[in-house]
Structure 1
Amino acid sequence: MSLIDLDNKKLATAVSSFQVPAKPQILIDIQKLMAEDEPNIDKIALLISNDVGLSSAILKVINSPLYGVNRKVSKIKHAVMALGLRGVNGLVIALLLKSSIQGDSSISLERFWDNAIDIANAMSFIGGEIDSRIPVDTLYSIGLFHNCGMPILALKYNNYDDLLAEASVLTLNSLALEEQHYNTNHAVLGYYVATSWNLPSEICQIILRHHEVDYLDDITDSTEQLAFAILKAAENLIEQTRRQSVTPDWESVREAVFDVLGISDMDYSDLEDGYTLLY
């Protein structure tokens, strides 16, 4: 079954036995307000403010160096106005998902999310440095969400950490081993979560296809390919700066990623140095 040929029936079958987090009520309420003909920013800001964890997380993100705000943002209404409705929606979804995937896991969920945040920050940083036409919040959401199927596998299978270790020894991404052992994979599960939580379709597609090393074989100058290239560059940047290694996909996609981003090896080294100084 090709990843891009998934339909709702196949998806439902693939994920029926997994602990897929339901969309929280606060997200349903926020998205309902945003769908109105003239969304009321005050009502949206009040909803977010009533959730202390969510509001503090949003303020932390918008006050990070990546957003480059001139002065510290301390009120959610100001954050909503600065981010825009699309930006707020993406961040709210990303932050709520992080807090919704909990339980007895065979991998460290704290370490998983720390790495996801690193990649989200790296994507936002690279997007800013290359003057990407993709909004920062979209890049951040892709970085945070792209592997969200992995903790769902880890919550169900107590040997998932062993599978990841095996993939690491073989210097492979884990998809083939996941299919072999579990008859599904983290890209499919992540896509299901992203669609059920109403992420934008372009983000859902990147989550589904983020390990397709031939995705850039025919370069079309699409925003989806640009997002994919930024994700691959960010994943490898984090792997190199944090663990002095390269990601399993990197050698297969490196040249095409540089073509899409319009950068050279030296430019990429400069990006690594710049990110390290920032973080």
Structure 2
Amino acid sequence: MSHPTPDVPDVLPEDTALVLPPCPAVLAGLFEAVQRDHDLREVASLIAADPAICGSVLRTANSVAEAGHTSLRDPLQAVTKLGVRRVLGIACAIAAPGAFPLPPQVAERFWRLSRTTAEAARQVARRIPGPAEEDAYLYGLFRDCGIPLLMLHYPDYEQTVQDAIAENMPSTKLEYFRYGTHHAMVGGLITRHWKMPDELVLSIRHQHDATLFGDNTGSVAPSIRTLAAMGFFASSAARNALGELEDPEWVWCGRQAAAYLGFQPKEAVELVWDVAEAVREVMGRQHLPE
């Protein structure tokens, strides 16, 4: 059964109290560097200025180094080893939460799931043709970034999500009815405001559009549809890996997303389980970026 998402504008309602958070300075510099012909020394200099990011990048670079390899201590060596896009993902996982001042327990729960979804998206990208692994990682990390902003401004937001589940409808539909916007729209605006790549912005913005995986979506690039479809697999696998309840949105869009990617229902479930197991292995070997 189709549950259409309202046709909403790509701007916030005039009467909203929402204010888009500024992009953390280190991420703004990295996004700018990535979108032009970046200099590895410039990227290394940016991460070196942030001890938490620099430490995580060095740990990750050393964890993937060959056995017996001399320990890397220089940020430039680490950037060269990992690649700029991998470094960008690490930096985002560390710096982005600071832009959304949620209560500590709420923030930890949300960003733990987001980091796990990002790793799951990376694993999905290894298994099917489509976006590069690091692009999938960024999408998984930010696909729900509109949620913390809505939480900050609407104290009843979590209740709205629960009400949507109880009413057997997509949360975006009830969010729009109550707030005049929804988390996918807000996430698209945040990522655009932060000057992220257009493909990522549009995939986040349109991920819950009921017609996204239909036959009459010629105006939406296949790469955007593929990234959005992969996101549903990643979200389901991440929740599985963490022992959480299934993502309600899998009920609404999971089968359509699977069909778009060429999977039968049984194959889709097997892919989710396979990715969840891979994510658990990664979580067992190393901590996902704090």
Query: TM-score, length-normalised on structure 2?
Result: 0.78
* Matched residue, 1:45: 44
Contact 1:125–1:275, Cα closer than 8 Å, also in 2: yes
Deviates more, 1:114-123 or 1:165-174: 165-174
**Distance in structure 2 (CA, Å) of the matches to 1:277 and 1:36:** 36
Shift of 1:78: 3.4
Deviates more, 1:223-232 or 1:17-26: 17-26
**Distance in structure 2 (CA, Å) of the matches to 1:267 and 1:255:** 11
Shift of 1:100: 1.9
* Matched residue, 1:256: 256
Q: Where does structure 2 lack aligned partners over 5 or more consecutive residues?
A: 1-5, 281-290
Shift of 1:42: 1.8
Q: Aligned residues, how many?
A: 268
1:138 aligns with 2:143: no
Shift of 1:56: 3.1
Q: Where does structure 1 lack aligned partners over 5 or more consecutive residues?
A: none
Structure 1 pair 247–43 and aligned structure 2 pair: CA distance change class (3 A): closer
Shift of 1:48: 0.2
**Distance in structure 1 (CA, Å) of the matches to 2:179 and 2:13:** 15
Which of residues 121, 124, 127 in structure 2 aligns to 1:123? 121
Secondary structure of 1:191's aligned partner: helix
Contact 1:14–1:184, Cα closer than 8 Å, also in 2: no
* Matched residue, 1:78: 77
Which one scores higher on RCO, CA 8 angstroms, separation ≥ 6? 2
Secondary structure of 1:108's aligned partner: helix
**Distance in structure 2 (CA, Å) of the matches to 1:129 and 1:70:** 24
* Matched residue, 2:235: 235
* Matched residue, 2:182: 185
Q: Deviations over 1:140-187 (max 9, x none)?
A: 111111111111111112222222222232343321222222222212
The one-letter code sitting in structure 2 at the alignment partner of 1:154 is M
Shift of 1:202: 0.7
**Distance in structure 2 (CA, Å) of the matches to 1:33 and 1:240:** 35
Q: CA RMSD in A?
A: 3.1
1:222 aligns with 2:219: no
* Matched residue, 2:285: none
Which of residues 138, 142, 147 in structure 1 aligns to 2:144? 147
Q: Deviations over 1:98-153 (max 9, x none)?
A: 23211448x812111111112111111111122x3311111111111111111111
Structure 1 pair 35–239 and aligned structure 2 pair: CA distance change class (3 A): closer
**Distance in structure 2 (CA, Å) of the matches to 1:154 and 1:273:** 30
Secondary structure of 1:133's aligned partner: coil
**Distance in structure 2 (CA, Å) of the matches to 1:35 and 1:79:** 20
**Distance in structure 2 (CA, Å) of the matches to 1:239 and 1:35:** 32
Q: Deviations over 1:37-85 (max 9, x none)?
A: 5x43123202202201122344566678xxx765688453234224444
Shift of 1:246: 3.8
